């Protein structure tokens, strides 16, 4: 048996080497840890949050938990609003939501799907405390004073057997108890339960439950909660409102993604939105076409400029490079504003064209507030992102290659096309990826110079984030845009090869 080799510290040589390697790896990981942490916090986590928000829909279930359960037995295709039990559940949920002030957020969420629901919830929230359900409270407390005793209520609700007999009352009391502590800051054993708890107690009694203290509920004049809600607004009897609540009651939804492609959830499944509401597919197609157009324009303009920079003397090339970088260093808003001045019908460009006689004074070109204006302005803004990768690659192409090709009899065009151009393809690839990805995400320039016909899908995303506050739809649109970019990146890698993309060297 061969003798085991030992290190100077007396450990086995293999173990000592493994220990040294492990220390090196830990040191390397510690060095990149700040960068890794920064990327996780600033890049990975926001994207993960965006993906989650595009399907998250907890607000309906959290705000109307009892209504969501009661709606499970309602037939959305019946053409009728739900029956009394669903409105009873809605009454309890709304009474609690008003105290948490969450009914307005829920109304705003559902208003994205059906216009008018937001005002319906706001109006009902203001009226919910004036429902005639105090008749139940008066009837029970008159039948036995124990029903007005908060301590007695707490004792009843601690009895598991009684809780099982009174499911509606238990649910309402638990919600009230939690609310009275969290929202009101009071002690449940010092506060008499609110009217919706007695309403639930009455409904349990009507359903045949054994009450803590026997009360003849048949002698109590019933109050129709359905009628109370319809008195607030007739829209509560509209089946479409309830269909919206039921459709968007699951915790997770594909509704945002359906909206992003001009579809919607109907009573019988997924269906197309009305023709006058279909905007997102058009915007996605327009964004792709215009981004590709801008990328093509940048290649046509940037390639000869980069070639000139790479083949001039260093002093002249540096001077010209300043002309490329100077606009690049100027504020984006300033450059965009400058194009608004230049492209107007009474602007500099039209004035010059009229002056040299190319355009008639009464037939000036429309260069702004349309797609033409967006393409011109964004081509100028993104041109440096095409020139710089091209220039860095072209600088590495030896001029002797062209001279050798010509000395072998090739024409200027053949020498360029067969020798020079293939070597510059990695720079074209890098520039195209940079320009295209930047273009589809731009929203300031299209917003200012594009008008209604020149905006991108990114403008709608910005609108939903800052104005309509429909973050779910904005997240879904952003997710689709991210998927398109990843798909194009994959296609580019398959067709051209990402290894051929170089920023220099």
Give the DSSP letter string of 385-437.
Answer: HHHHHHHHHHTTS-THHHHHHHHTT--HHHHIIIIIHHHHHHHHHHHHHHHHH
d(CA 100, CA 111): 19
CA 253 vs CA 93, 215, 265, 311, 463: distances in Å? 22, 44, 10, 57, 22
Within 10 angstroms of residue 469's Cβ, the number of other Cβ atoms is 14
HSE-up (13 A, CA, CB side) for residue 10: 0
CA-nearest of 439, 444, 448 to 466 is: 444
Q: At what angle do helices 167-182 and 195-206 cross, to 10 degrees?
A: 170
- What are the helix (H) ranges across 40-149? 45-53, 58-63, 65-70, 84-100, 103-111, 117-127, 134-143
Bridge partners (DSSP) of residue 56 are 252
Within 10 angstroms of residue 236's Cβ, the number of other Cβ atoms is 20
Tokens of 471: 């973050």
d(CA 164, CA 13): 71
**Buried b / exposed e across 86-110, counting CB within 10 Å, b at 16+?**
bbbbbbbbbbbbbbeebbebbbbbb
**Buried b / exposed e across 393-411, counting CB within 10 Å, b at 16+?**
bbeebeeeebeebeeeebe
* pLDDT tens sequence for the chain (505 residues): 556 777 777 778 888 888 889 999 999 999 999 999 999 999 999 999 999 999 999 999 999 999 999 999 898 888 899 999 999 999 999 999 999 999 999 999 999 888 889 999 999 999 998 999 999 999 999 999 999 999 999 999 999 999 999 999 999 999 999 999 999 888 999 999 999 999 999 999 999 999 999 888 888 999 999 999 999 999 999 999 999 999 999 999 998 999 999 998 877 778 888 888 889 999 999 999 999 999 999 999 999 999 999 988 888 888 888 888 888 888 888 989 899 889 988 888 999 999 998 888 888 888 888 999 999 999 999 999 999 999 989 998 998 998 899 999 889 999 999 999 999 988 898 899 889 989 998 888 898 888 888 889 999 999 999 888 889 999 999 999 999 889 888 888 887 776 666 555 5
pLDDT at 503: 54
Show the CA angle centred on residue 242, arms to residues 236 and 76, nearest 5°. Answer: 130
Estimate to the nearest angstrom the gap between the alpha carbon of 329 and the chain centroid.
Answer: 31
Within 10 angstroms of residue 226's Cβ, the number of other Cβ atoms is 20
Tokens of 392: 């860095």
- Please name the fold of domain 279-500: MetI-like fold (1.10.3720)
First CA to last CA across the chain, in angstroms?
Answer: 54
Estimate to the nearest angstrom the gap between the alpha carbon of 194 and the chain centroid.
Answer: 39
pLDDT at 126: 93
Asked whether the beta carbons of 94 and 285 are under 8 A apart, the reply is no
Estimate to the nearest angstrom the gap between the alpha carbon of 4 and the chain centroid.
Answer: 62
d(CA 92, CA 175): 9
Coil, helix or strand at residue 251:
coil
**Buried b / exposed e across 169-195, counting CB within 10 Å, b at 16+?**
bbbbbebbbebbeeeeeeebeeeebbb
* Domain ranges (residues) in the chain: 10-53, 60-275, 279-500
Report the percentage of the chain scoring pLDDT > 90. 60
Coil, helix or strand at residue 196:
helix
d(CA 330, CA 339): 13
């Amino acid at each position: 048996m061969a003798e085991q080799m030992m290190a100077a510290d007396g450990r086995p040589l293999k173990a000592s080497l493994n220990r040294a390697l492990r220390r090196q790896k830990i040191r390397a990981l510690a060095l990149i840890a700040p960068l890794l942490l920064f990327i996780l916090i600033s890049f990975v986590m926001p994207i993960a949050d965006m993906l989650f928000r595009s399907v998250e829909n907890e607000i309906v279930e959290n705000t109307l938990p009892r209504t969501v359960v009661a709606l499970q037995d309602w037939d959305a295709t019946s053409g009728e609003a739900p029956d009394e039990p669903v409105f009873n559940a809605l009454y309890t949920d709304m009474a609690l939501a008003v105290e948490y002030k969450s009914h307005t957020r829920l109304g705003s969420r559902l208003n994205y799907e059906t216009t008018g629901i937001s005002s319906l919830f706001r109006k009902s929230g203001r009226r919910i405390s004036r429902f005639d359900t105090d008749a139940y409270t008066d009837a029970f407390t008159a039948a036995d004073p124990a029903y007005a005793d908060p301590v007695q209520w707490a004792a009843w609700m601690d009895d598991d057997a009684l809780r099982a007999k009174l499911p509606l009352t238990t649910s309402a009391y638990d919600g009230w108890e939690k609310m009275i502590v969290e929202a009101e800051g009071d002690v449940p054993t010092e506060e008499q339960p609110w009217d919706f708890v007695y309403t639930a107690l009455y409904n349990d009694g009507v359903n045949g439950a054994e009450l803590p203290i026997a009360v003849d509920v048949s002698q109590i004049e019933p109050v129709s909660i359905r009628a109370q809600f319809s008195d607030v607004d007739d829209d509560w009897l509209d089946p479409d409102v309830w269909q919206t609540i039921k459709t968007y009651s699951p915790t997770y939804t594909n509704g945002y993604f359906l909206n992003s492609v001009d579809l919607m959830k109907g009573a019988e499944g997924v269906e197309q939105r009305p023709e006058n509401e279909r905007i997102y597919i058009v915007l996605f197609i327009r964004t792709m076409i215009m981004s590709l157009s801008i990328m093509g324009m940048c290649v046509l303009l940037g390639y000869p400029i980069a070639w000139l920079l790479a083949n001039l003397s260093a002093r002249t090339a540096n001077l010209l490079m300043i002309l490329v970088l100077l606009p690049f260093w100027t504020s984006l808003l300033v450059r965009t504003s400058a194009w608004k001045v230049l492209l107007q019908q009474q602007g500099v460009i039209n004035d010059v064209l009229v002056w040299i006689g190319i355009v008639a004074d009464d037939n000036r070109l429309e260069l702004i507030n349309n797609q033409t204006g967006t393409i011109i302005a964004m081509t100028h803004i993104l041109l440096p992102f095409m020139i710089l990768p091209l220039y860095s690659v072209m600088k590495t192409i030896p001029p002797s290659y062209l001279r050798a090709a010509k000395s072998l009899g090739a024409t200027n065009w053949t020498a360029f096309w067969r020798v020079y151009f293939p070597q510059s393809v990695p720079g074209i690839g890098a520039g195209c990826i940079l320009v295209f990805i930047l273009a589809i995400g731009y929203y300031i320039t299209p917003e200012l110079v594009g008008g209604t016909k020149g905006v991108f899908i990114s403008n709608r995303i910005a609108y939903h984030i800052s104005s309509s506050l429909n973050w779910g739809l904005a997240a879904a649109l952003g997710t689709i845009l991210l998927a398109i970019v990843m798909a194009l990146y994959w296609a580019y890698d398959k067709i051209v090869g990402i290894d051929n993309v170089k920023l220099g060297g």
